Chain A
Amino acid sequence: MNAAAEVSGLATGDLLADARAKAEFLQVRDADPAADDAALRRLALWATRYTPTASPLCRDLWNEANGADGFFLDIAGAAHLFGGEEKLLADLATKLQKNFGLPARLAVADTPGAAWALSRFHKTPAFVLPSGQEAAALAPLPIAALRLAPDTRATLRRLGFKTVGSLLDKPRAPFAARFPTELLRRVDQALGRIDEPLVPIVAPPVYHSLRYLIEPIFTHDAIIAHANRLMATLIHVLTRDDVGARGLRLCLYNVDGAVETIDIGLTLPTRSVAHVARLIELKLEALAATYDAGFGFEAIGLAVTCAEPMPARQTELTSVTDDGDRTERCASLIDALRQRLGPNSVRRFEPVASHLPERAEMLPPLDGEAPAWPEPEQRPRPLLLLPHAEPAEDVTALVPDGPPRRFSWRGVTYDITGAQGPERIGAEWWRHPLPTLPRKRGREREGATRDYYLVEDASGHRFWLFREGLYGRETTQAQWFVHGLFA
């Protein structure tokens, strides 16, 4: 409830008719928790301009029990950038009021628990608690300041505990015996006796650099120029720590409070300004259709989200091989391709231990070292593999389980002059317990044995055909499929 509601005498739990009677201008809307969550999340992202660690009140979600009405900012080490904690709070309050029209209640304390309690129950809207005074500050506050479940709160009230202070000077043992562990945990968290880790909404960066702009910027060129300068400032710290960036996040803070984040993953750690600038440029180009500069960006932040050791490499004076150089160039090429074409567009073949040809390899997005391929097998394998085996029509064979003499595929009939096989490939029974699955028309059946033949027609086209199903045991009418093309 905001101040205006309190003035007109409304109270939580009023019936709608009563409320309407008390305040005649009252407008009613259905509650939309999902939209509230999203809005709060956006606001928390906006607030990452003060500190990289913004966290929802509980784990990863805002829920009823938490009040669903705020978030934590971990400003340790960030306050001095704004001239102290008071100034930071004042700045935050002004910005919230000016940009969003939100009257905010803020508090700074050593523990999240104390900050939560003070922001809600202290009389000043922006309060900074000096270090080590949690117990004294919390003592006069009501029990509700401890973030307890409603049941526990009600029991405590019935027992006559009205304020936090009345709880603090009592022996712990009876409370531990009678109440859920929640009570003492919350008390300890508020007083800093046990840790309360905050779960940030975005992974906190390892290195961070932020720049406020006097005039909002709109264009790609301006963004890239500023990102360049930010990267140049980050280079010093990266060099000092002997690391390179493998993950970067560019945050663009819009004037209207929205935040655009652009994540960039790199194949090898880098400290090159030019490389990062190029990746950002490619990403912006790829996003050009979807993103919207709106009223412009008033602040821009570049963070290293993932840093990896990057030992200095000595360039040989008389370099015989340029292998290291080539690896680096390759990595930057892959990065560039990924930014423009999408993260899954650059792939590499990886062998899989399976006899089924369609399962014998994977094409995962390229990452790390090249996988080692085994020596080529003696058995023939086609150069082009059809994603789904296609049925071969009008197959004639001399004997039912012999190689085909003629078949037609995609409307062309091929006379076979040479055949090699069969190579029998059984189904992977540990995957398909049911060999008699209903089949789709024109599709190979999962779980049937296949006999593969390499066949060649008179003009030298080479195909990989298979006959599906064993006569007598699995099928009475075998079907033929084309599965691949040989070079």
Chain B
Amino acid sequence: MTLANRTWANKTGPTALTVARNRAAVMAELRRLMPGMGEERKALPFGLGTIDSHLPDGGLTCGALHEVVPQAESCIAAAFGFIAAILGRLTCPLVFVMPAHGLRPYRPHGRLHGHGLNALGLDPGHLILVETAHRKETLWAMEEAVRSAAPAAVVGVIDTLDLKLSQRLHLAATEAGLPLFLLRPAPPSPPSPASGGRWGGGSAAATRWRIGTAKAARDRFGLVTQPRWHLQLERCRNGRPGEWLVEYDHVAHRFSLAAALADFSRARGAGEESIKQAS
């Protein structure tokens, strides 16, 4: 109301000074109305300039919803691995909300293995595993965990997500300042150019990652040393999408670009512009 009044009052004689003053007032008002706009937000950086420069806060924003999608059913372990790799650095308790039946409609993929998490550099002792019977419980448990602001991060496994639901979860994450990772199955059909490259309904998530498998890094004896994943930042609010092939060092908790073919987008020539902007 005050904003409107001011604008109306100044309509009669707009001088350069009043216009400037008005703009400043409007901007201040907008800043006030949009929480978290001006202030510095915490983020989980990848430690990799190429990826971090694509993200608005120089890393995965803490108070936000992040979607992780496996490229295909067979890539589900890679998707879990990617989440574990991001959270490996955090030492506080982490909450994993897993439905007892796994990720539908995929076939049962087993359960997380403590020694496997340990091998990826995530201490399994920090993990609080919440097992739910159905979707409603999963959603409730996730929201409860996020709103309590007790864990350092919350990970949920869920079969479907719609706009309203994602808005609700995103809001909860923003209020608590916690990163909330949602692992969901890939939609059945790839995006078509007609729909503007978008698929699977809207979502309020800050980022959506599509994780694919890639051949692991091996030492000269042919032993697997570091897992590699094909990351695709499919959408990113206030950022730019991108595509990378990364490997993960579980000892140093560090991502690095895979040596041979560092950037898929450059190779394809599709995202050349964005790379120029970044550098």
Residues in A lying within 8 Å of B, measured CB to CB:
326, 329-330, 332-334, 336-337, 340-341, 344-351, 357, 360-361, 363, 366, 370-374, 376-377, 380-387, 410, 412, 417-418, 420, 454, 456, 458-462, 484-487
Contacts and interface: CB of A to CB of B under 8 A. Distances in A.
Contacts of B172: none
8 contacts: A347-B129, A366-B128, A376-B118, A383-B81, A384-B77, A459-B213, A460-B214, A487-B227
A332 to B, nearest CB: 7
Contacts of A384: 76-77, 80, 109-113, 116
Contacts of B45: none
Contacts of A461: 74-75, 213
A341 B115 contact: no
A487 B125 contact: no
A336 to B, nearest CB: 6
- Chain B at the A interface: SS class: mixed
Give me the 4 closest cross-chain CB pairs, A-B, nearest first. Answer: A487-B81, A460-B213, A329-B150, A349-B114
A389 to B, nearest CB: 10
A486 B77 contact: yes
Interface string B55-80: 00000000000000000001111101
Contacts, number: 189
Contacts of A459: 213, 215
A363 B124 CA distance: 11
A418 B144 CA distance: 44
Given A351-B114, A371-B125, A383-B117, 11 more contacts: A330-B128, A333-B95, A357-B115, A370-B125, A372-B125, A380-B224, A383-B81, A418-B224, A485-B109, A485-B110, A487-B81
Interface in B183-224: 212-216, 218, 222-224
B107 to A, nearest CB: 7
Contact of A345 (B132, B149, B213): B132
B236 interface: no
- Determine the interface band of chain B, counting residues with CB < 8 A from chain A: 35 or more
B85 to A, nearest CB: 8
A360 to B, nearest CB: 6
B113 A361 contact: yes
Interface of B: 74-78, 80-82, 84-85, 92-93, 95, 107-121, 123-133, 137, 140-141, 144-145, 148-151, 212-216, 218, 222-224, 227-230, 250
Given A382-B113, A386-B110, A462 B144 contact: no
A383 B80 contact: yes
Contacts of A487: 77-78, 80-82, 84-85, 116, 120, 227, 229
A414 B74 CA distance: 11
A82 B240 CA distance: 75
Nearest to B251: A376
A382 B110 CA distance: 11
A373 B250 CA distance: 16
A212 to B, nearest CB: 35
A383 B121 CA distance: 11
Given A326-B92, A487-B80, A333 B151 contact: yes
A349 B124 contact: yes
Contact of A454 (B120, B151, B212, B224): B224
Contacts of B133: 341
Of the candidates A326, A360, A384, the one having the most CB atoms from chain B within 10 angstroms of its own CB is A384
Nearest to B223: A420
B216 A333 contact: no
B77 A382 contact: yes
Contacts of B125: 348-349, 370-373
Given A337-B145, A348-B128, A361 B114 contact: yes
Contacts of B80: 383-384, 487
B115 A361 contact: yes
